[in-house]
């Protein structure tokens, strides 16, 4: 199934860019949509009711090394049954505020969180373990947070009992959740553990969008079934009715951590500035069994944050994740828009058994080089056993004499920057209709038919150009870029339907 990104240039000042796949590929991927999608959703509901609490298929999770430190206390948090003044140390004395539990916790404690929407102290809109952007002075804590519990904590099922961070009208400049977990330089004590498991990170109710209107191309509404028109970038002021609230740049989850770190069974949806953006110190970080959908900039970006001599002690595994519809930085599709990024400062990175689909720049990017040739040669960038479909590029590489090189899945073994593991990267095989039908059909159809209209205008007699000519300055024109779709809101509830649709690829049914 071939993908392409065609730019059709006309003699006039209007350029139309078709973003998607060939007609044959569209027919293959859209086969069975419509009534079949409705049936798939109904089947999913029944499946969740009967099986969501059963053990999931073994996804080959790398075991996190146990910390020598003793296990700490357990805190309980419930938005519906908890109390603002409770101690949180039992299910019957649960706290109401997740932030309060984090503030009370100490290293090696764990926090169990029941269903509900958690917005921080007095609904400020974000949760923090340590101050965002200041892990040097606010070292944070090595704690573990598990969502998806019933209000009485008798059952854990992250699909049935949704624990979410979903602000609606909060003005803030911070990630939905920030986690610091560092120790001072020279510290030789026990290695800490950080776990974020079973949370939904959704900025869709707090983003600013054009109101949907299929008859107004300014709004970027691909069909009459999508929830919104296009996302409105910070400082942009399109002349269209708007819905939503804030329009700043915020991450879904930001981390500055070290030790043993795991992010699993989470959903990152409608994140306007990265799903996960992390700085990793010495230790191992695992990102597994998550769903990233309709995030902007990149779904997951983790950089090493150590001295060059310590890079061999940093490793990262990204596996069994579903990564769909990652959007570029601007509506002109100029840059960013990566599903996963191989970054510097990490000696070994393993990316495997993921599904990458419909990412507007590339599924996977490997364009950064270490600071010297020896370190770059020692770097291990494994990319193997992944499914790809309908991405602008499957793999993007840096290249001398060219901006980048696009590598389709079938030729990843030829990319010398990848390896030593590179086998098993393929276009998603036919027969995975259950997965395709679980994607919101209006959103998928909009992406598959995505077009960008660019128009330019020049008025020699405008006041600005008359003044410019008088002073010998360049003449000025204007350009309008109007995509048929750009980072529109994805229905967060439907993201849950993507768990467990393809055996051993993408996010499996959570344990």
- Count of structural domains, the chain: 1
Is the Cβ–Cβ distance between 345 and 316 less than 8 Å? Answer: no
Q: Is residue 24 part of a domain?
A: yes
pLDDT in the model for residue 203: 95
Q: Is residue 326 part of a domain?
A: no
Torsion angle, alpha carbons of 41, 42, 47, 49, to 10: 110
pLDDT at res. 187: 83
pTM of the model: 0.86
* C-alpha radius of gyration, the chain, whole number: 23
Report the alpha-carbon distance of residue 204 to residue 197 in Å, rounded. 21
What is the per-residue pLDDT for 140?
95
Query: Domain for residue 218, yes or no?
Result: yes
Would you call 302 exposed, middle or buried from its count of C-beta atoms within 10 A (0-12, 13-18, 19+)?
buried
The residues, ordered by sequence, that sit 6+ positions from 322 with a Cβ below 8 Å of its Cβ are: 290, 291, 292, 293, 354, 355, 357, 498, 506, 507
Q: What's the CA gap between 229 and 220, in Å, rounded?
A: 5
- My answer on whether omega of the bond before 420 falls inside 30° of 0, hence cis, is yes
Q: Is residue 45 part of a domain?
A: no
Q: Is 196 helix (H, G, I), strand (E, B) or coil?
A: strand
What is the helix (H) or strand (E) element at residue 14, kind and residue range? strand 14-21
Q: How far apart are CA 430 and CA 398, in angstroms?
A: 31
What pLDDT does residue 478 have?
Answer: 53
According to DSSP, the β-strands at 242-244 and 200-202 are: unpaired
- What domain range is 13 assigned to? 1-31+210-244+441-484
Beta pairing, strands 380-384 & 402-407: unpaired
The answer to whether residue 381 is domain-embedded is no
User: What pLDDT is stored for residue 84 in this prediction?
Assistant: 93
Cα 441–Cα 483–Cα 409 angle in degrees, nearest 5: 60
The per-residue pLDDT for 474 is 72
| pLDDT attached to residue 475 | 56
pLDDT at 476: 61
Q: How many CB atoms lie within 10 A of CB 131?
A: 16
**155: enclosing H helix or E strand:** none
Query: Hey, is 288 helix, strand or coil?
Result: strand
Residue 166 CA, chain-centre distance (Å), reads 15
Q: What pLDDT is stored for residue 9 in this prediction?
A: 23
Q: Give domain status of residue 147, yes or no.
A: no
DSSP designation for 32: T
pLDDT for res 26: 44
Please identify which residue in the block is written with the tokens 């970027």.
220
> Is 17 within the bounds of a domain?
yes
Q: Is residue 354 part of a domain?
A: no
Q: Please report, for residues 229, 439, 444, 485, 493, the alpha-carbon distance to residue 490 in angstroms, rounded to integers and kept in the order given.
A: 11, 10, 10, 12, 9
Q: What is the pLDDT along the chain (511 residues), one digit of tens a residue?
A: 333 332 322 222 234 445 544 343 444 444 444 444 334 333 433 343 333 333 333 333 333 343 445 789 999 999 999 999 999 999 999 999 999 999 999 999 999 999 999 999 999 999 999 999 898 889 999 999 999 999 999 999 999 999 999 999 887 778 999 999 999 877 888 889 999 999 999 999 999 999 999 999 999 999 999 999 999 998 889 999 999 987 566 799 999 999 999 999 999 999 999 999 999 999 999 999 999 999 999 999 999 999 999 999 999 999 999 999 999 999 999 899 999 999 999 999 999 999 999 999 999 999 999 989 999 999 999 999 999 999 999 999 988 767 889 999 999 999 999 999 999 999 999 999 999 999 999 999 999 999 998 654 545 666 665 666 676 767 565 557 899 999 999 999 999 999 999 999 999 999 7
Rounded Cα distance, 493 and 311, in Å = 39
Closest to 243 in 3D by CA, of 213, 202, 274:
213
| Residue 354 token pair | 């993921």
Take residue 370 and report the two structure tokens written for it. Answer: 């270490």
């Amino acid at each position: 199934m071939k993908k392409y990104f065609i730019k059709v240039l006309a003699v006039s000042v209007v350029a139309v860019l078709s973003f998607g796949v060939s007609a044959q590929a569209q027919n293959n991927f859209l086969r069975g949509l419509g009534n079949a999608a409705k049936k798939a959703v109904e089947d999913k509901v029944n499946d969740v009711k009967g099986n969501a609490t059963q053990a999931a298929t073994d996804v080959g999770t790398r075991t996190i090394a146990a910390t020598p430190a003793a296990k700490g206390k357990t805190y309980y948090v419930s938005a519906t049954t908890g109390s603002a003044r409770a101690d949180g140390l039992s299910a019957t004395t649960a706290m109401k505020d997740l932030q309060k539990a984090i503030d009370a916790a100490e290293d090696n404690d764990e926090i169990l969180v029941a269903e509900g929407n958690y917005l921080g102290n007095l609904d400020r809109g974000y949760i923090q373990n340590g101050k965002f952007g200041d892990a040097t002075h606010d070292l944070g804590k090595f704690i573990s947070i598990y969502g998806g519990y019933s209000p009485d904590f008798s059952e854990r099922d992250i699909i049935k009992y949704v624990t979410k961070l979903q602000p609606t009208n909060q003005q803030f400049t911070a990630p939905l959740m920030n986690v610091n977990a560092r120790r001072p330089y020279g510290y030789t004590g026990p290695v800490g553990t950080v776990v974020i498991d079973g949370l939904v990170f959704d900025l869709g109710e707090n983003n600013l969008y054009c109101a949907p209107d299929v008859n107004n191309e300014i709004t970027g509404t691909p069909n009459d079934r999508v929830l919104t028109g296009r996302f409105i970038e910070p400082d942009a002021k399109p002349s269209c009715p708007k819905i939503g609230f804030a329009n700043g740049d915020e991450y879904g989850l930001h981390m500055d951590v070290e030790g043993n770190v795991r992010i699993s069974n989470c959903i990152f949806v409608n994140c306007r500035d990265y799903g996960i953006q992390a700085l990793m110190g010495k230790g191992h970080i695992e990102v597994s069994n998550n769903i990233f959908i309709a995030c902007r900039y990149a779904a997951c970006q983790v950089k090493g944050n150590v001295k060059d001599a310590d890079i061999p002690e940093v490793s990262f595994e990204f596996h069994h994740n579903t990564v769909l519809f990652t959007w570029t930085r601007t509506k002109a599709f100029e840059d960013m828009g990566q599903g996963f990024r191989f970054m510097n400062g990490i000696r070994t990175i393993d990316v495997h058994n993921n599904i990458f689909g419909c990412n507007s720049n590339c599924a996977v990017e490997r364009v950064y080089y270490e600071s010297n040739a020896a370190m770059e040669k020692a770097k291990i960038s494994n990319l193997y056993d992944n499914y790809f479909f309908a991405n602008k590029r499957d793999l993007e590489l840096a290249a001398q004499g060219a901006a980048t090189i696009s590598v389709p899945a079938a030729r990843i073994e030829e990319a010398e920057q990848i390896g030593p593991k590179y086998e098993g990267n393929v276009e998603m095989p036919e027969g995975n209709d259950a997965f395709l039908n679980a994607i919101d059909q209006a959103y998928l159809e909009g992406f598959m038919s995505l077009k960008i209209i660019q128009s330019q205008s020049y008025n020699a007699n405008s006041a600005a150009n008359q003044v410019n000519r008088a002073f010998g300055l360049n003449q000025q024109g204007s350009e309008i870029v109007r995509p048929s779709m750009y980072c529109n809101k994805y229905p967060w509830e439907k993201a849950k339907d993507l768990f467990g649709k393809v055996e051993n690829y993408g996010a499996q049914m959570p344990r």
